[in-house]
Chains A and B, each alone.
Chain A
Amino acid sequence: MTGRDPRKAFGAAVHRVARENDDVVAISVDSGLSSGLGGMKDEFPERYIEVGIMEQAATGLAAGLATAGRIPVLCAIAPFVTARNFEMFRNDVGYMRQNVKIVGRNAGLSYSPLGPTHHSLEDCALARLIPGIAVITPADCGEIEDAVAAMIAHEGPVYLRLGAGTVPDLYETGSFRWGRGRTLSRGDDLTVISSGHITAEVIDAVLALQKQGIDVEHLALSMVEPLDHDLVVEAARRTRRVVTVEEHYVRGGLGGAVAELLAERCPVPLQVMGAPHRFISSGPYRDVIEGCGLDAQSIADRAAEFVRATAPVTTHG
């Protein structure tokens, strides 16, 4: 599998849409160049607004620009544009319903060596709590490119969640559909739902499960809000058990969204896999992922155990 850097894919995609749409402006909080926006800065310096390290004012600025028809794209390390500025995100962008695109990069544990200040394990939950915010969680760079085009075309506030490092290419570019998930494999024993850049890891876990004879339906959701209700409920009804996997806390993100949906429409056993709800020790990315049980082998082992534990009791007579 070939792989690319999400930040470069994102920056180049914004640059492309900016060529077609004069209203697109990038706001940098000393973060634009490391978000891949150097090309945009060079070609359109008047549409590349640097404000330094001030995420609160940057968010208000974005809302103000949007009231006059601009389409601001504010990208930085995920916790600083979701948690640090949360009230501005909630009020100035959400409550004012402004056409602002907030982009959290290095989301999840991709800044694993830098520790909990730079981990972003609640950004999905925070964005999802704000009424009217669409939350896009692309799994690969092609999907990031599609998501950038879609979020600019969408009139309304968006949170786009990006990973980092080298993300394998999984999908055909151009196949992203707003609010719609993807079915990566069909099966009747277990539904596994993933979103975001950890999906590549989950694909490997699903292969391992299938080798064990567990028939897995794998759904990859490109958006957590709006969630693809029909896709999730249909699979849950058929497989009668669901596992969710995300590089996010086990509270409030994809797992939380799926739990809320299934509790109402199809209550079945559900296992939410993600980072445990505590401040995670720093360390090399692979070590931290394994420590959280989010590597392919751990995901497969836990899912297999979940299938055994939830198997219907058979009577022999």
Chain B
Amino acid sequence: MNTIDVTAAEDIELRILATRARRNVLRMLDAGGSGHLGGAYSCIDIVTALYARVLRHDPANPGWTGRDRFLLSAGHKALAQYAVLALFDYFPAEVLDTYGAFGTVLPGHPDMKKLPGVEANTGALGHGTAIAAGMAMAARTSVESWRTFVLLGDGELAEGSNWEAFAMAAHHRLGNLTAIIDVNGLQISGEAEQIMGMEPIAEKMRAFGWVVQEIDGHDYRQILDALGRARVDTSAPTAIVAHTVKGEGLGRLAGTVGSHYWTPSREELGEAFIELDRRLVSLGRERVA
């Protein structure tokens, strides 16, 4: 077993980091006026944990060939990755204020040729896992051996190309590949299960030959335990089915379909900043205590 322990103090640090990341997302919305907040907030605890504790990466050398790869198949969750990359100094925080502007390096969907740290140009759903499988396959025959992590949404699972890629990764025994499925249960038109039922997701992934773990995607002990177990090189790829809340982190948006693409008024945005800032103060007190 190769799990990653999380002490109480580390848990607070991770929650502070993720709250700062959520604040970075608001900063981008402040600049651009709107964005895919809901899915970014449902996965942002996982993305934070990956960069803080799991990925072998070097912000000063983002093209390091031995780096672990992390890519979004659900490319519309790019705000989460941008927010975390900024925290880890992949680019100056001021760049967040270019979100929404013509020619920004932070487009609505990620572009690997524009922003160091981005591994693939996703946004059209159902592409990421096959690309990730290629990266994982290349790692097996490279001198430097990296791991590949791909994050999908649950609504995205209706795209058949995912299931091609799931079959392929299992058939080729890509034990160095981990897919994290952000199951927030909501998509643009409503409840995922009402629009196109893909449950039981975990059972389907097992049937496709993946090692499957189910976790609460906002609980750092569970997130890091699962990512730690995935690190054990097995002969099968690992799927982490993460149950999450869309828009998690802002009281009035959490669990709402409306958070999917949020166009806040100035007042709503101001209130959201206040809510996160209060959260940071309270976490700071927990840290001291």
Binding site for B on A (CB under 8 A): 46, 49, 51-52, 54, 56-70, 72, 87-88, 91-92, 95-97
Contacts and interface: CB of A to CB of B under 8 A. Distances in A.
Contact of A64 (B135, B141, B167): B135
Interface in B39-75: 65
Contacts of A72: 134
A49 B165 contact: no
B165 A57 contact: yes
Interface residues of B, number: 32
15 contacts: A51-B168, A57-B129, A57-B161, A58-B168, A59-B130, A60-B130, A61-B131, A63-B130, A67-B131, A68-B65, A68-B139, A88-B130, A92-B131, A96-B113, A97-B113
A118 B2 CA distance: 50
User: Which 4 residue pairs spanning A and B have beta carbons closest together?
Assistant: A64-B134, A60-B130, A68-B138, A57-B164
A56 B139 CA distance: 21
B138 A69 contact: yes
Given A59-B130, A60-B165, 4 more contacts: A46-B141, A51-B171, A67-B120, A97-B113
Interface of B: 65, 112-113, 119-122, 124, 126-139, 141-142, 160-161, 164-165, 167-168, 171-172
A54 B168 contact: yes
Contacts, number: 100
B164 A62 contact: no
Q: Is the interface of A mostly helix, strand, loop or mixed?
A: helix
Contacts of B138: 64-65, 67-70
B139 A64 contact: no
Contact of A60 (B65, B134, B142, B171): B134
B75 to A, nearest CB: 10
Contact of B135 (A46, A54, A67): A67
A67 to B, nearest CB: 6
B28 to A, nearest CB: 22
A60 B139 contact: no
A91 B127 contact: yes
Q: Give the most central of B131, B136, B171: most A CB within 10 Å.
A: B131
A139 B141 CA distance: 36
Contacts of A68: 65, 134-135, 138-139, 142
